[in-house]
Amino acid sequence: MTATAIGQLFERLTRLTAATKQKAGDGTAWDYTFPDGETHRYVIRGIKSYAETEDNAFNLLIWVWNAKDYLKRWAESNGRDAQLVEHTASADHALAVCGDLANRLKHGELKHSRSGRYPRFGVVSFEAPQAAIVSLTFRAFEVELDIATPALVEFHLPVLDNAGEQIGDAFEYAEAGVTALERIRARIEDTV
């Protein structure tokens, strides 16, 4: 593992982080059937779909956790103990949660939780202030929302613990995980 490869890895993390902050998109639509059997359609235009938002978060979390292994190999190739990276990753709460979430994505379940919280994902949601909305239209059995300023929209992807309590947001954990990786990288570079 070379310093160039590590530089490219962190450039990828920067691009993936930027993708989570991009809000504009083609929109999304879904139907909801109420208990009385009445179905309503909801249409949102001008922002990314929930699926795209989730994909961006998932990709970043997986690469955050992959980066830990790259840093372990880089430490070894520079005569450092790879366990330094492992211990630091386990001691950093945000990075441990990122690892648990990435492993859940990879394996579908968690047999062991590095964070001890057995985190899982909630449902993507968004908040759009009035300044972001160009129109809100109500029709019989349909609601349509047009977003004119997607940058003002806030996306959320709750992280829940094994009891179902919200312990944070996946986007915030991923950013904190990248910051923790940057600190690990700096520690390795200081000894090279």
Three-class DSSP labels, 150-185: HHHCEEECEEECCCCCEEEEHHHHHHHHHHHHHHHH
The full set of domain ranges for the chain reads: 3-191
Q: Distance between CA atoms of 130 and 177, rounded to whole angstroms?
A: 32
In this prediction, residue 192 carries a pLDDT of 53
pLDDT above 80 (res 161): yes
68 vs 76: CA distance, rounded Å: 13
Give me the chain's average pLDDT, please: 94
What was the pLDDT predicted at 1? 84
Taking 80 as the threshold, does the pLDDT of residue 191 lie above it?
no
| pTM (two decimals) | 0.90
Q: Is the pLDDT of residue 116 over 70?
A: yes
Please tell me the total number of residues recorded for the chain in this structure: 192
Does residue 49 surpass a pLDDT of 70? yes
Per-residue pLDDT, averaged over 97-114, amounts to: 94
pLDDT at 60: 97
Mean pLDDT, residues 119-124 taken together:
96
More confident residue, 46 or 189: 46
